[in-house]
Structure 1
């Protein structure tokens, strides 16, 4: 994430993490659906192992948790200008029983036509292999001052991919602190925004931030490993409206509390 993890650190991290995404449906405060990120260098075995750990945590908190989609990192672009895209996972590693969201990571914003061409290519490859593609996700840490440009860029991409493929994005809490109006317009242009909270001290959940995102109903809140702040935020649902929450877990997070992948 911009301003939270350095470009060099991202290069190191990009090959070793996968995450678990947890979010609450608006209709039931105690019903949670567990999505999973399968990052570069990870496998479904890693996903399944950590899923079991997390489902046990759900029982501990007396929450009803269900398994959702797999979010698969299929392509990334490095932080240096001119660097070519790097392919990651292919459909052969995933059964046709999975509902899949294809994830694209960019250190710097790549041309919309190039990204759309790769998305269309990848969708065709995965669908021809019999995989159920339900959406794509863009993982890019736009500067707060460039959110309007990012929104226009996303709209260009959306027009060039199949209409039945939704676009979601990852997001920064600083967007809503620095440029609330543009951040809300950006959220309205996509299916969802996974809002990232990586470190307790660097990304505090303030009343100002909660007020800034009030009324934005397609946000998910991303936490790392056993960061207990999500429990409090979950309880804030009645006060601030509907919350969809996310917990990011690495394969070693119970030991090292490592950073999330983007």
Structure 2
């Protein structure tokens, strides 16, 4: 199966981040929910094209697949621009039938009042355009030693955005390796944590990590392209119970590049 995944998937999917969420087996079949990150420079047409290819090829894996949510990079703050906001995707590129999650990428933590103002304005703009916004996602690589500060920041942020908008985050596996207690507390205040294994072999999956996250029920496991390490997590399903997994598939995959959300 690993040869099929690394060969077939790499050849049939390109140009869009496909996030494939694997849930427990039902009636001896696997149910895959296909989510997407539409990152800077990508389009909904890219997403629709690649999604259709994936759905058509699910029989290769003998699994049941269905389309899920769309995560859209709306705004980012980088090192070079300091605290200046860089806008990305616009609602005009998306359909009113899509369930959308607005993603915000930060190199450094932005003041809660400032980012919440942007988020609320963006939510209003997208909703007025007729788009179905169900949540936001914060993409920030907090140091493991400052997870408690990040948790307090997220709690404050949640108070400043509409109650019907869920808050999700991307995360680092090292959080659970280095600071298990605060990582679990952090996960408890958000709807979902997508752990990014995008550095491939540079981010090992250890028994210590698996033990740390086995009772955290809102985690997804993110892998880049044809990284075969997700097969190990698949084998852990019976051992650890329910888990969900994401695979980011792009046209090019390089260890030293980071084309996927971090």
Q: If the TM-score is normalised by the length of the shorter chain, which range does it land in?
A: 0.7 to 0.9
* Cα drift, residue 60 of structure 1: 1.2
The aligned counterpart of 2:39 is: 39
1:201 to partner: Cα distance? 2.1
CA contact (8 A) 1:70 1:101 kept: yes
Counterpart CA distance in 2 for 1:229 and 1:201 is 9
Aligned length: 244
**Residue equivalent to 2:227:** 227
Partner-residue secondary structure (3-state), 2:103: strand
CA distance in 2, matches of 1:88, 1:101: 14
Question: Which residue matches 1:87?
Answer: 87
Task: State yes or no: 1:108 paired with 2:102.
Answer: no
1:43-82 to 2 correspondences below 5 Å:
43-80=43-80, 82=82
Task: Mark the CA change 1:158 to 1:49 in structure 2 (over 3 Å): closer, same or farther.
Answer: same
**Partner secondary structure for residue 201 of structure 2:** coil
Distance 1:27 1:201 in 2: 28
User: What stretches of structure 1 of length at least 5 have no aligned partner?
Assistant: 1-16
For the Cα contact (< 8 Å) 1:39–1:73, is it kept in 2?
yes
Task: Evaluate the alpha carbon distance shift between residue 81 and residue 93 of structure 1 in structure 2; reply closer, same or farther with a 3 A threshold.
Answer: closer
Q: Is residue 2:183 matched to residue 1:183?
A: yes
Output the aligned Cα RMSD. 1.8
The Cα of 1:27 is off from its aligned counterpart by 6.8
Relative to structure 1, is the Cα distance of residues 256 and 140 closer, same or farther in structure 2, using a 3 angstrom cutoff? Answer: closer
Give the TM-score normalised by the residue count of structure 2: 0.88
2:19 to 5, 21, 24: 21
Q: Which residue does the alignment assign to 2:151?
A: 151
CA distance in 1, matches of 2:112, 2:55: 38
